[in-house]
């Protein structure tokens, strides 16, 4: 059956009002999120198969699960880096699907800080310049940039190595630079995909403990993917994923 474009839009709005109950305390809410990749004709991979999660403002939640269970796909949908096949993502009660390109770019630049497994620092820029980069993109005034870069390099304990290139820093130090970079625009959400994947357990624990301290102080909402149970347990709540679904939720005493 063919529907007019207008008719489709109207029914979509009605469906959302009816189905999606938004929680005023939630920073991130997903509803029946699905992502299907079509590898070749006739072969589909269901990377996400109906994920509904709810992360409160200021909450620190970890997502755990074996490789291929859909963790990165989930983060990509929440970070507005990719579109779901069906379902919805709300960030601070706004449906990401309803945002235009400019609003999405703004969301990624100003509201979300990203931390990755391989740090993703620019190799030819110093620690200071790497941290400064998102603020330059966001068009912040020079004074504010200087103040924030210094503040967050201090917070991660790296002001003394501000002029070092990434290649002159250890893995743990590079991840600290990446954390400072993610925080310098003062985002409301931090999204971290296996942030300790390249670090030994002791350094990994230190990095995530730092994230937890910052979370308690600055109240950003944190969603962190890890496959290491001792790292995941540092969050307030652990979500377990398998085959594109959340199969369990564990409240920790943190
Ligand atoms: N761009 C893509 N194209 C096709 N399949 C993909 C793509 N990205 C991820 N997948 C598949 O989706 C599933 C979930 O992947 P991913 O979210 O990366 O899992 P995890 O991060 O938990 O290891 C895997 O089977 C993976 O091979
Ligand atoms: Mg992954």
Alpha helices (H) in the chain, listed in sequence order: 5-19, 71-78, 101-106, 127-137, 142-155, 171-183, 201-218, 229-232
Residue 108 DSSP symbol: I
**Rounded CA separation 86/51 (Å):** 10
User: Dihedral sign, CA of 61, 64, 70, 76?
Assistant: positive
Max CA pair span of the chain: 66
Q: What is the pLDDT of residues 52-84, one digit of tens each?
A: 999 999 999 999 999 999 999 999 999 999 999
C-alpha distances in Å from residue 197, one per residue of 15, 128, 170: 40, 24, 14
Ligand 1 near 68 CB (within 6 A): yes
Q: For a pocket test of ligand 1, which of 33, 35, 37 has the largest count of ligand atoms closer than 8 A to its C-beta? A: 37
- Beta-bridged to residue 239, according to DSSP, are 63, 249
Instruction: Report the atom number in ligand 1 closest to the C-alpha of 194.
Output: 21
Structure tokens at 111: 């509201």
Q: What is the pLDDT of residues 111-128, one digit of tens each?
A: 999 999 999 999 999 999
Instruction: Report the atom number in ligand 1 closest to the C-alpha of 74.
Output: 17
**Rounded CA separation 12/8 (Å):** 6
* Total structural domains within the chain: 1
- Ligand 1 centre from 48 Cα, in Å? 9
- What residue owns the CA closest to ligand 1's atom 4? 37
Ligand 1 near 187 CB (within 6 A): no
Of residues 179, 167, 172, the one with CA closest to residue 122: 167
Percentage with pLDDT > 90 across the chain: 83
Contact between residue 246 and residue 84 where contact means Cβ atoms under 8 Å apart: no
Instruction: Report the atom number in ligand 1 closest to the C-alpha of 48.
Output: 14
- pLDDT bin (cut points 50, 70, 90) of residue 159 is very high
Q: What is the pLDDT of residues 189-230, one digit of tens each?
A: 999 999 999 999 998 999 999 999 999 999 999 999 998 999
Query: Does the pLDDT value for residue 8 go beyond 90?
Result: no
Query: Does the pLDDT value for residue 1 go beyond 80?
Result: no
Structure tokens at 26: 């939630």
The CATH number assigned to the domain holding 58 equals: 3.40.50.300
Decide: helix, strand or coil at residue 228.
coil
**Rounded CA separation 134/122 (Å):** 12
> What is the extent of the structural domain holding 30?
5-251
Q: What is the mean pLDDT of the chain?
A: 91
């Amino acid at each position: 059956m063919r529907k007019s474009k207008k008719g489709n839009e109207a029914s979509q709005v009605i469906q959302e009002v009816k189905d999606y109950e938004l929680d005023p305390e939630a920073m991130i809410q997903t509803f029946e999120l699905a992502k299907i990749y079509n590898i070749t004709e006739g072969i589909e991979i269901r990377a996400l198969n109906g994920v509904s999660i709810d992360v409160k403002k200021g909450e620190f939640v970890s997502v755990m699960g074996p490789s291929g269970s859909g963790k990165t796909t989930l983060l990509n949908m929440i970070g507005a880096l990719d579109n779901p096949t069906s379902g919805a993502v709300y960030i601070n009660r706004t449906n990401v699907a309803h945002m235009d390109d400019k609003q999405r770019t703004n969301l990624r630049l100003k509201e979300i800080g990203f931390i990755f497994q391989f740090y993703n620092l620019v190799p030819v820029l110093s620690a200071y310049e790497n941290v400064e980069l998102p603020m330059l993109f966001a068009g912040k005034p020079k004074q504010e940039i200087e103040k924030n870069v210094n503040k967050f390099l201090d917070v991660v304990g790296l002001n003394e190595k501000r002029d070092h290139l990434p290649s002159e820093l250890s893995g743990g130090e590079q991840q600290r630079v990446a954390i400072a970079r993610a925080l310098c625009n003062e985002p409301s959400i931090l999204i971290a995909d296996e942030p300790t994947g390249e670090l030994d357990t002791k350094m990994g624990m230190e990095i995530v403990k730092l994230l937890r301290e910052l979370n308690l102080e600055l109240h950003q909402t944190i969603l962190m993917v890890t496959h290491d149970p001792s790292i995941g347990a540092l969050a307030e709540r652990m979500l377990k994923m398998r085959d594109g679904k959340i199969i369990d939720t564990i409240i920790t005493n943190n």
